[in-house]
Amino acid sequence: YYSSTYASGNDASDAPLRFIIIRHGERVDVMFGAGWTQRAFDASGRYHAFDPNMPPSLPHRTNWLDYDVDTPLTAKGLSQSWNVGSVLHRYNLPVTACYSSPAFRSIQTADRILEGMGRKGHVALRLELGLFECTSWYARSPINFMPDSELINGGYNIDTRYRSQMSDLRLLENEYQYYDRSKETMKKIIKLHRKTGGTVLLVAHAPSLEVLTRHLMNGQPRPERLAELAGKVDFCSMTVVERESTAKPWQFRYSLDEQANQGIWQQQLQLQHSNSAVIAPKNQSSTPAVSTAAPAPAPATPSIYQPPVTFTNYLAKPANSAQQFYLYPQQEAFPPYFVL
């Protein structure tokens, strides 16, 4: 598994393809505690918002107690998600297909993103089991997903013709197996879009930014640190990975603005070919060496302090601009991501 066969993300593709991978918005149980349903539902199952940050309404589900584990978004989370869609629309990144984890919070996030970019009526949600997070994290509280019928009755545009690439989930899978399942899911989704290309939105969970992209960058899985890495990802944070063709490698995007993104990549190339580049010797770890000198104050534009060995070795720090960020060298850090 840890051999080079893991790094097999470059499946055949005949058109430019881009993935926007995003964590869901702010969730109710994080803000109001695990027992929030006892306050929000009466004995007959009728919902009542008890705080301005509670969602104004919730779809009916057969067992409302399922919301305890399959939690919805807060009012802020709904607004966050709509704003993401608005920003993507403004930067001319129209989504041509959308896949969501079956978790309700991810479905809500995907729905509001599409609404924010004016695509809700044009792009149906494809519910993909393979995008759900590590199942062993739910060992004490098994999750029951909402069926398509209840989601459709709740106003969600679900693609009922789509069949999940993963037909079931292994109960109590560990983080190592979660990487493997995510890799296989990503390979199958890439294959579905190899002819048409386009911009594909994947709405899932905090660790998704890592596990869905790691193999695309020829990186090895790091299951022992996954929970720690996922903890760095805020609500509605996203990473963008794209390639021009089969012959080109996958690349992370460093700005939603195309011109700025190209400028940063020119910086990357110049630094990689600079005589002053600092790279770990071949007989040592593949992790880039980090300069011991104190970093200079953050400049007005994104700056890269040393060339990466792989682009997943950089942790993104939000800059003043909502669509750009500074990059600082970090050992075994998370993929670069945006916080809007």
Residues assigned a catalytic role? 23-24, 205
Q: State the Cα torsion 246-101-51-83 to the nearest 10°.
A: 20
Strand partners, 239: 21
Q: Length of the chain in residues, anyone? A: 340
Residue 218's identity, in one-letter code, is: N
Residue 104 and residue 92: Cα distance in Å, rounded? 27
Sorted by sequence, the CB contacts under 8 Å of residue 46 that are 6+ apart come out as none
Indicate the helix (H) or strand (E) that contains 195: none
* 46, 263, 267, 305, 338 from 318: Cα distances, Å: 41, 18, 19, 16, 7
Both structure tokens of 32: 């109001």
Contact 246, 10 (CB under 8 A): yes
DSSP 252-263: E-SBSSHHHHHH
Contacts 24+ apart (CB under 8 A), 71-75: 71/27, 71/28, 71/29, 71/104, 71/105, 72/27, 72/28, 72/104, 72/105, 72/108, 73/24, 73/25, 73/26, 73/27, 73/28, 73/105, 73/108, 73/109, 73/112, 74/25, 74/26, 74/27, 74/28, 74/31
* Beta strand 238-243 pairing with 198-204: unpaired
